[in-house]
């Protein structure tokens, strides 16, 4: 076995960037991801064992009755689930809360979780985004502001202001006068705390590192006809109406790195589109951006809103961005090198291997011949011997000569004595 | 940027630990068509080279399918099954040699001869050979770092072929004597344990091996050879379309059938496989100690207003800060990682904190 050291020129590190496309169709209280239809299995109602419109994180349990890790329940369950023993390191599952983990489990207890883990987009309708509970002092009767009602919005407020340098529209409150720029001047200035916000959350598994700026498109369909479309055409997070009654207006912002869309556009869409039941409480309104994606796991269905809810459908599409670090290594088999194999068949068959073997001496045969592997074009004729090997794999070692990786060639490569060969290895990290 | 650093004492503030995460893996017979008697199965992939067949948990042409295990048949060249007339004779011998070479290595005495599978934990005493075996190579996807010792169970129908399709003579093989610290032996391919038969049907004995790190199960072919009284040769397979003879004993199948055909017969007899896998999670634990006289101020811009500390009403009040984030820096002062607290912790000169930061990798 020959060990060769990499030089500085032999190793290249770079980043491979990919842009996975994601498309969500929201209709009738259901989410369809990348046009994947419902697939029923032979054993479970959904072959992926996840709710409709979700993706399975590992796609571990395919077409099974899911076992939630509770002994004996259900009896027919045969699915993969993880478990862990409580130890001093404190490792646990998210399903076991901090207090529960401390109080309900002793060291040595087994904590279980379940697969599959699933993810999908979620819509939250926030009528007054900054609303807080009211706390009344029972002694004095004074009322003070309590905890926020919509904690998800409050968690984003700092980040929204942080992106205020990209666009004024990110800012939670602004007194900037858009009158000379915007079609609609009646919305300036604003305070998002007092606005109705349509918050759409996109898990990062759908986009990777970030949503690729300039690729976002939101389409509002009414009875199958496109009545409004938003795009982030400026690539600065502003969602600008490109189809509709107020083209050029900003109807919301997108947080590319975090995967949140906040829509505040509350003007009517579509000429003459009537009111339809679009809220979970069954109340009706005309199509607006604040109702975009109604039915995306927000409790709005035909049952809660009304039969005409099916007039609305929505299309949300974007491209994500994934960065994969790639290590490229060039291994060289130069002429005069890598010309011997340790494979037992490299030596000619049926030769004396040991010429002396006694209690004091062990001597191998120094005249063993290498098998002639050169091919001949003629039957019954052996070509002249040439020193050559077939390279079938390349092993990678660390500085302590620990084997840390093996690259196997799809086909063995012939390495002749007078040839240089470079084998390129790629390792995605 | 922090206004002050608190250096770690490398002897007392940093420790490492290892946590074992397990997954319960049940592989039910529905996956590999136990008892159906059907050979048209979308979950099963056979290859042109014919050396093994792969089993998936879903039609293998689907991107959702996970590779579960590979099945093959092998025997040693010293086995009496080995003959030039046997179907795929060289492949079966090569398969045996390759698996024993990788899993067991070479004989200690001769140094040139590959070890053979044995139904005991002493691989060097050259007895109890298993020279004709079925091999189940479980996917790394489901075995992860290793199979948990003592958790492997396999149910097999060992009756004659007609009984097999209706789950006849089902035996349970387990590595019941294996545990984390005993009942296993260590060889080149890692640790292995013995698969004992549990149940009244056959004599309690060892019918196979399980290699925990390699994820390989070895079953001796003699498991299917004889009936209860060990005299009657049973039908092992009913290889429709496989050569001229359909009902075959295991001996006839191993010599007169292809590897794929014998794998089909075995697969239809596997009622159930279940085991727990193991993933090792290594952690570094950093004890970040906050003494009483440090970190009582904040560099947060909102900490002061009009040149006055917000949280102080009187000049004599003690300062207060709220710890929200811990930054871990290297010796060059470069930020390597940040740890967020689930909720801010009050810090003032009257208290000391020890924050435990765990880094998994």
pLDDT digits (tens, 9 = 90+) for A118-144: 999 999 999 999 999 998 888 888 888
Question: How many residues are there in chain B?
Answer: 361
- From chain A, pick out residues whose CB is under 8 angstroms from the CB of B23: 80-83
Number of domains observed in the structure of chain B:
2
The answer to whether residues B251 and B191 belong to one domain is: yes
Q: Which of B249, B279, B309 is the last residue of a domain?
A: B279
- Rounded to a whole number, what is the largest CA-CA distance in chain A? 112
Q: What is the mean predicted confidence (pLDDT) over B37-53?
A: 81
pLDDT value of position B245: 57
Together in a domain, B314 and B171:
no
The answer to whether residues B295 and B271 belong to one domain is no
**B11 occurs within a structural domain:** no
Distance of alpha carbon B70 from alpha carbon B229, whole angstroms: 32
Lowest mean pLDDT among A31-45, A170-184, A284-298: A170-184
Provide the residue range defining the domain that includes B297.
291-360
Q: What is the mean pLDDT of residues A174-186?
A: 59
Counting every residue, how long is chain A?
Answer: 429
For residue A183, is pLDDT > 60?
A: no
Residue A140 contacts by C-beta under 8 Å, 6 or more apart in sequence? none
Same domain, B213 and B314: no
Say whether both B32 and B164 belong to one domain.
yes
Q: What is the pLDDT of residues B253-300, one digit of tens each?
A: 899 889 998 998 888 888 889 999 999 999 999 999 999 999 998 888
Interface test with B, best of A41, A64, A91, A343 (most B CBs within 10 A): A91
DSSP B213: T
SS3 A209: coil
Using 50, 70 and 90 to split pLDDT, how confident is the model at B243? Answer: very low
Q: Is B92 left (phi over 0), alpha (psi -120 to 50) or beta?
A: alpha
State whether B356 and B248 are in the same domain. Answer: no
CB atoms within 10 A of CB B141: 16
Nearest to A81 among B20, B24, B66 (CB): B24
Lowest mean pLDDT among A266-270, A282-286, B237-241: B237-241
Q: Is A401 on the interface with B (CB under 8 A)?
A: no
Residue B5 lies in a domain: no
Partner residue facing A62 (CB), from B24, B66, B285: B66
pLDDT at B235: 76
Residue B3 lies in a domain: no
Q: Which of B275, B283, B315 is nearest to B136 (CA)?
A: B275
Residue the block writes with tokens 């579509």? A270
Inform me whether the pLDDT recorded for A182 exceeds 60: no
Among A377-386, B129-138, B201-210, B345-354, where is mean pLDDT lowest? B201-210
Q: Can the peptide bond before residue A189 be classed as cis, meaning omega within 30 degrees of 0?
A: yes
B283–A91 C-beta distance less than 8 A: yes
Average pLDDT over residues B193-219: 87
Domain end (from B258, B279, B300): B279
Give A-chain residues touching B358 at CB under 8 angstroms.
Answer: 89-91
- Smallest CA–CA separation between A301 and chain B, in Å? 30
Q: Which residues on A lie below 8 Å from B276 (Cβ)?
A: 83
CA distances A157 to A192, A203, B305, Å, are 9, 19, 21
Cβ contact B26–A79 (<8 Å): yes
Find, in chain B, the residue whose alpha carbon is nearest to that of A71: B24
What are the start-end ranges of the H helices in A316-427? none
| DSSP bridge partners of B355 | B288
Chain A CB contacts of B20 under 8 Å are 84-85
Residue B12 lies in a domain: no
Same domain as B195, residue B323: no
Q: What is the mean pLDDT of chain A?
A: 89
ipTM of the complex: 0.80
B30: its two tokens? 């529905």
- B345/B246 same-domain check: no
More confident residue, A184 or A103: A103
| B24/A69 touch (CB, cutoff 8 Å), yes or no | yes
Q: What is the pLDDT of residues A370-390, one digit of tens each?
A: 999 888 888 888 888 988 999
Report helix, strand or coil for B98: helix
Task: Verify that B125 and B232 share a domain, yes or no.
Answer: yes
Specify whether the CB–CB gap between B356 and B283 falls below 8 A: no
A212-243: b or e for each residue (b if 16 or more CB lie within 10 Å)? bbebbbbbbbbeeeebbbbbbeeebbbbbbee
Residues of B in contact with A84 (CB under 8 A): 19-22
Residue with more model confidence, A92 or A30: A30
Q: Which residues pair with A261 in a beta bridge?
A: A200, A254
Q: What is the mean pLDDT of residues B161-189?
A: 82
Does the distance separating the beta carbons of B28 and A62 come in below 8 Å?
no
Q: Is it the case that residue B230 has pLDDT exceeding 70?
A: no
Between chain A and chain B, the number of residue pairs with CB atoms below 8 A apart is 60
Residue among A20, A40, A42, A78 with most chain B CBs within 10 A, to mutate: A78
In a domain, B257, yes or no: yes
* CA gap A221, A205 in Å, rounded: 27
**Environment class of B152 (CB within 10 Å of its CB; exposed 0-12, middle 13-18, buried 19+):** buried
> Do B100 and B213 share a domain, yes or no?
yes
- For residue A63, the chain B residue with the least C-alpha distance is B58
Q: Is B14 part of any domain?
A: no
B218: closest CA of chain A, how far (Å)? 23
Q: Which of A334-338, A348-352, B69-73 has the lowest mean pLDDT?
A: A348-352
pLDDT beyond 50 at A185: no
The predicted model gives B65-87 an average pLDDT of: 93
- Note whether residue B6 is domain-resident: no
In DSSP notation, B72-111 reads EEEE-TTSTT--TTSTTHHHHHHHHHHHHHHHT-B-TTTS
CA separation for the pair A340, A384 (Å, rounded): 18
The kind and range of the H/E element at B264 are: helix B259-267
Q: Mutation test of the interface with chain A: which of B63, B66, B276, B342, choosing the one with the most A Cβ atoms within 10 A? A: B66
**Nearest alpha-carbon partner for A270 in A331, A228, A207, A231:** A228
Q: Given a cut of 90, is residue B62 above it in pLDDT?
A: no
Co-location of B181 and B319 in the same domain: no
Q: What is the pLDDT of residues B137-160, one digit of tens each?
A: 999 999 999 999 999 999 888 877
Domain assignment present for B60: yes
What residue has token string 């906050």?
B290
Choose one of B250, B279, B308: the last residue of a domain: B279
Same domain, B305 and B223: no
CB contact under 8 A, A84 and B360: no
Contact B28 A78 (CB under 8 A): yes
pLDDT at residue B166 is higher than 80: no
Q: How confident is the model over A352-371, as pLDDT tens digits?
A: 888 898 899 999 899 999 99
Query: Which A-chain residues 62-121 have CB contacts (< 8 A) with chain B?
Result: 62-64, 67, 69, 78-85, 87-91, 98
Answer whether 0.90 is exceeded by the pTM: no
- pLDDT computed for residue A3 by the predictor: 86
């Amino acid at each position: 076995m020959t060990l060769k050291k990499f030089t500085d020129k032999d190793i290249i590190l770079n980043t491979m960037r990919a842009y996975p496309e994601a498309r969500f169709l929201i209709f009738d209280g259901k989410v369809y991801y990348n046009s994947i239809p419902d697939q029923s299995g032979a054993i479970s109602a959904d072959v992926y064992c996840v709710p409709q419109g979700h993706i399975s994180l590992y796609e571990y349990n395919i077409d099974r009755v899911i076992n939630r890790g509770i002994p004996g329940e259900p009896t027919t369950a045969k699915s993969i689930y993880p478990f862990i023993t409580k130890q001093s390191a404190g490792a646990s599952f998210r399903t076991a809360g901090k207090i529960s983990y401390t109080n309900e489990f002793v060291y040595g207890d087994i904590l279980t979780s379940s697969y599959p883990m699933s993810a999908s987009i979620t819509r939250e309708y926030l009528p007054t985004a900054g609303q807080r509970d009211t706390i009344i002092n029972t002694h004095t009767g004074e009322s003070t502001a309590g905890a926020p009602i919509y904690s998800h919005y409050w968690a984003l407020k700092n980040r929204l202001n942080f992106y205020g340098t990209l666009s004024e529209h990110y800012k939670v409150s602004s007194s900037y006068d858009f009158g000379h720029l915007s079609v609609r001047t009646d919305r300036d200035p604003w305070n998002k705390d007092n606005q109705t916000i349509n918050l759409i959350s996109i898990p990062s598994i759908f986009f990777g590192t970030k949503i690729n700026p300039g690729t976002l498109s939101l389409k509002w369909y009414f009875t199958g006809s496109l009545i409004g479309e938003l795009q982030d055409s400026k690539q600065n997070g502003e969602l600008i109406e490109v189809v509709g009654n107020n083209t050029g207006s900003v109807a919301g912002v997108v947080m590319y790195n975090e995967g949140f869309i906040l829509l505040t556009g509350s003007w009517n869409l579509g000429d003459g589109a009537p009111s339809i039941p679009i809220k979970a409480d069954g109340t009706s309104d005309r199509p607006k951006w604040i109702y975009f994606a109604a039915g995306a796991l927000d409790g709005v269905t035909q049952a809660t809103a009304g039969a005409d809810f099916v007039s609305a459908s929505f299309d949300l599409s974007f491209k994500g961005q994934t960065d994969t670090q790639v290590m490229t290594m060039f291994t060289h088999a130069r002429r005069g090198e890598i010309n011997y194999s340790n494979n037992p068949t490299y030596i000619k068959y049926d030769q004396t291997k040991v010429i002396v073997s006694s209690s004091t001496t062990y001597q191998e045969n120094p005249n063993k011949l290498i098998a002639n592997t050169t091919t001949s074009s003629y039957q019954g004729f052996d070509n002249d011997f040439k020193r050559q090997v077939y390279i079938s794999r390349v092993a990678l070692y660390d500085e302590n000569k620990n084997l840390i990786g093996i690259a196997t060639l799809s086909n063995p490569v012939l390495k002749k004595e007078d040839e240089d060969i470079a084998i390129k290895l790629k390792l995605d990290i | 940027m922090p206004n002050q650093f608190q250096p770690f004492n490398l002897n007392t503030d940093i420790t490492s630990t290892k946590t074992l995460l397990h997954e319960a893996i049940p592989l039910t017979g529905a996956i590999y068509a136990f008892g159906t008697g059907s050979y048209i199965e979308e979950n099963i992939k056979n290859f042109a080279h014919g050396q093994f067949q792969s089993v998936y948990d879903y039609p293998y042409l689907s991107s959702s399918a996970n590779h579960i295990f590979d099945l093959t048949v092998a025997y040693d060249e010293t086995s009496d099954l080995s003959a030039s007339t046997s179907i795929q004779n060289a492949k079966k011998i090569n398969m045996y040699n390759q698996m024993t070479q990788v899993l067991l290595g070479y004989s200690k005495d001769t140094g040139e001869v590959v070890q053979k599978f044995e139904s005991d934990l002493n691989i060097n005493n050259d007895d109890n050979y298993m020279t004709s075996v079925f091999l189940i190579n479980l996917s790394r996807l489901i075995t992860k770092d290793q199979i948990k010792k003592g958790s492997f169970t396999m149910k097999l129908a060992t009756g004659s072929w007609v009984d097999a399709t209706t789950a006849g003579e089902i035996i349970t093989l387990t590595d019941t004597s294996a545990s984390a610290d005993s009942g296993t032996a260590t060889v080149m391919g890692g640790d292995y344990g013995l698969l004992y038969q549990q149940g009244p049907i056959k004599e309690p004995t060892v019918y196979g091996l399980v290699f925990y790190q390699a994820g390989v199960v070895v079953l001796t072919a003699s498991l299917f050879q004889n009936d209860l009284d060990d005299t009657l040769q049973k039908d092992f397979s009913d290889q429709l379309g496989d050569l001229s003879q359909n009902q075959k004993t295991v001996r006839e199948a191993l010599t007169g059938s292809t590897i794929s055909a014998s794998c089909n017969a075995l697969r239809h007899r596997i009622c159930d496989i279940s085991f727990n896998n193991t993933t090792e999670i290594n952690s570094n634990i950093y004890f970040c100690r906050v003494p009483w006289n440090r970190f009582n101020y904040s560099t947060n811009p909102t900490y002061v207003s009009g040149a006055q500390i917000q949280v102080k009403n009187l000049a004599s009040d003690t300062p207060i800060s709220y710890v929200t984030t811990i930054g871990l820096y290297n010796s060059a002062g470069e930020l390597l990682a940040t740890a967020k607290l689930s909720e801010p912790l009050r810090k003032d000169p009257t208290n000391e904190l020890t924050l435990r930061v765990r880094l998994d990798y």
